Amino acid sequence: MNAVEVTGLTVRYSGATALDGVDLHVGEGELVALIGPNGAGKSTLVKALSGLVRPAAGQVTVRGRLAQVPEGREMFGDLSVDDNLRLGGWRNGRHGRDTTEIYRLLPGLDGLRRNRAGLLSGGQQQMVAIGRALMARPDVLVVDELSLGLAPLVVTELVGHLRTLNAERGLAVLLIEQNARLALGLCRRAYVLEAGRVVLHGPAGDLARDPRVTAAYLGGDVTAEGPAR
């Protein structure tokens, strides 16, 4: 069964079409990537999945609970790491705001729990953003630009956390990412979004070898670990 189904999704802003008939799905426990250039409509799709924009046409179906790791992290900078995490679980009631499990999943945050979030490095803030989303106990995690502004070693660590969450929890992940090499190396399937339309989709390994993807996004062959099996 699919955790996310998007069918014929069209979104317009003041007459301008941001998404035009997009079809996409994420299976339960599946890692799926959506790649594309700036202005392709990736962030609009995230907003549609989260119910923040109203489609002009089409349908979005989410089975279970969806949580978002937003582009740019969007920390509450004056609050502590622990307070930022607990805000992610506010809808779960008092007992749902226990952060113990997050520090087990993301041990790099344990020693930072009393630190102000605004003083953390970009990679640390991204871990807080992931942890805050996990506090909602989601079935689907939408990650918008995981690698934005981060050093490669930090990105590698974050990718490892996503792999673990997927393997241990069966968490479905939709990775919205400009870094095609990263996205195709992590995920089993992928979609390519350009000018509001899905122009390619299929197994990540196949897309990584597609000359159109190589020319536009990779600048050569994928040399990373390859897509998840």
Does residue 185 lie in a domain region? yes
Who contacts 150 (Cβ-Cβ below 8 Å, separation ≥6)? Answer: 122, 123, 126, 158
Does residue 129 lie in a domain region? no
Model confidence over 136-193: pLDDT tens digits?
A: 999 999 999 898 888 889 899 899 989 999 998 899 999 999 889 999 999 999 999 9
pLDDT given at position 172: 96
What is the C-alpha separation between 167 and 161, in angstroms, rounded? Answer: 10
What CATH number corresponds to the domain at position 222?
A: 3.40.50.300
Q: Give me the domain span that covers residue 1.
A: 1-64+141-148+174-229
What is the C-alpha separation between 53 and 171, in angstroms, rounded? Answer: 25
Instruction: Give me the number of domains the chain comprises.
Output: 1
Model confidence over 54-100: pLDDT tens digits?
A: 999 999 999 999 999 988 888 889 999 999 999 998 766 555 678 99
What is the C-alpha separation between 117 and 68, in angstroms, rounded? Answer: 18
In the structure, what pLDDT confidence band is assigned to residue 226 with cuts at 50, 70 and 90?
very low
Task: State the average pLDDT for the chain.
Answer: 90
Who contacts 62 (Cβ-Cβ below 8 Å, separation ≥6)? Answer: 3, 4, 49, 140
Does residue 214 lie in a domain region? yes
Question: Does position 130 have pLDDT exceeding 60, yes or no?
Answer: yes
Does residue 5 lie in a domain region? yes
Does residue 39 lie in a domain region? yes
